Amino acid sequence: GTKKKTACPGLGLFYTVLSAFLFSVASLFLKKIEDVHSVEVSAFRCVFQMAFVLPGLIYYKTGFLGPKGKRIFLFFRGLLGSSAMILLYYAFQVMPLADATVITFSSPVFTSLLAWIFLKEKYSVWDFVFTLFAITGVILIARPPFLFGSRVSGIEGSYTDHLKGTIAAIASTVSAALTFVILRKVGKSVHYFLSIWYYAVIGLIGCVIALFVMNEWRLPYCGKDRVFLILIGLLGLGGQIFLTKALQIEKAGPVAIMKTMDVVFAFILQIIFLNHLPTWWTVGGALCVVASSSGTAIRKWRQSLKKAKQNEI
Each residue's pLDDT tens digit in the chain (313 positions)?
444 444 566 787 888 899 889 999 999 998 888 778 888 888 888 888 888 888 888 888 878 887 787 888 889 988 998 898 889 989 988 888 888 888 888 887 888 888 888 878 788 888 888 888 888 988 888 877 656 665 666 676 677 888 888 999 999 999 988 888 887 777 767 777 788 888 889 999 989 888 888 877 777 666 788 888 889 888 888 888 788 778 767 776 677 778 888 888 999 999 998 888 888 888 898 888 888 888 887 877 777 777 777 776 6
Residue 75 lies in a domain: yes
With respect to residue 72, please indicate whether it lies within any of the assigned structural domains. yes
pTM: 0.82
Give the chain's domain count.
1
In a domain, 7, yes or no: no
136 falls within a domain: yes
Q: How far apart are CA 265 and CA 271, in angstroms?
A: 10
Query: Residue 106: helix, strand or coil by DSSP?
Result: coil
DSSP 12-77: HHHHHHHHHHHHHHHHHHHHH--SS-HHHHHHHHHHHHHHHHHHHHHHHT--SS--GGGHHHHHHH
Whether 4 maps to a domain, the answer reads: no
The confidence score (pLDDT) of residue 6 equals 45
pLDDT for position 172: 92
Q: Residues 271, 277: contact at Cβ < 8 Å?
A: yes
pLDDT score of 149: 61
Residue 276 has a CB neighbour count (10 Å cut-off) of 17
Question: Do 31 and 276 meet the contact criterion of CB atoms below 8 Å apart?
Answer: no
Virtual torsion, Cα 72, 78, 80, 86, nearest 10 deg = -160
Given a contact cutoff of 8 angstroms between Cβ atoms, the answer to whether 97 and 164 are in contact is: no
Q: Could you give the CA distance from residue 135 to residue 292 in angstroms, rounded to a whole number?
A: 9
First vs last Cα of the chain: how many Å apart? 29
**Residue 3 belongs to some domain of the structure:** no
pLDDT of residue 170: 92
Greatest pairwise CA separation for the chain in angstroms: 73
223 by DSSP, 3-state: which? Answer: helix
d(CA 39, CA 187): 30
Residue 1 falls within a domain, yes or no? no
Instruction: Give residue 116's domain range.
Output: 12-312
Judge whether 303 lies within some domain: yes
CB atoms within 10 A of CB 29: 21
